[in-house]
A = this chain, B = another copy of it.
């Protein structure tokens, strides 16, 4: 089986899931923590080399404060949970804004956790425009677009899996995603099941990757 080197995870649907359960919208995020750990372990087992989680974006910070507090807390918790696994962990996002949770500052330099292992990138207070704007500051001669991104330590993504049935990138790493295959899971993220992940890999195995050639 052809395994992707790098997968992107868009864990969407927490709020819709919560409403369906009779909870408040902001109560959904906590139920995404277990799936986050589970998908990491499955990815390691499958031999995937790099995984990027879409935490929250600068655009998400237009939402009501009670929701913002909830998804920020969930991201802090998620990063802490991941940090107790073997990985090479990096949090990427705009640390200059108030919306960036201070608890995550120590993770903004890539660090081997528990002996290292799979590259794990976690996007926190990420903005696609912020990511790309960075290249304007540069005047390097040996020009390479990807090296000028804020997210330059995140490689090209082979497979993006999005839960919650939306078929859009929502600003997820536009440069690394130009040739990504995009798999959509109907179920909401808190309803994560290993078979979603397995089906995504089976589907990816059948794709003809040409990069336009």
Contacts and interface: CB of A to CB of B under 8 A. Distances in A.
Given A212-B57, A213-B62, A174 B171 contact: no
Quickly give the copy total for this chain: 2
Contact count band on A = 20 to 34
Interface stretch (A82-90, A117-125, A127-135): A127-135
Interface stretch (A20-28, A31-39, A178-186): A178-186
A63 interface: yes
A213 B171 CA distance: 12
B178 A170 contact: yes
At the interface, is chain A mostly helix, strand, loop or mixed? loop
Interface in A127-178: 128-129, 132-133, 135-136, 138, 143, 145, 166-171, 174-175, 177-178
A172 to B, nearest CB: 8
Interface string A29-49: 000000000000000000000
Nearest to A169: B178
7 contacts: A60-B213, A62-B213, A63-B213, A135-B136, A166-B207, A169-B178, A171-B178
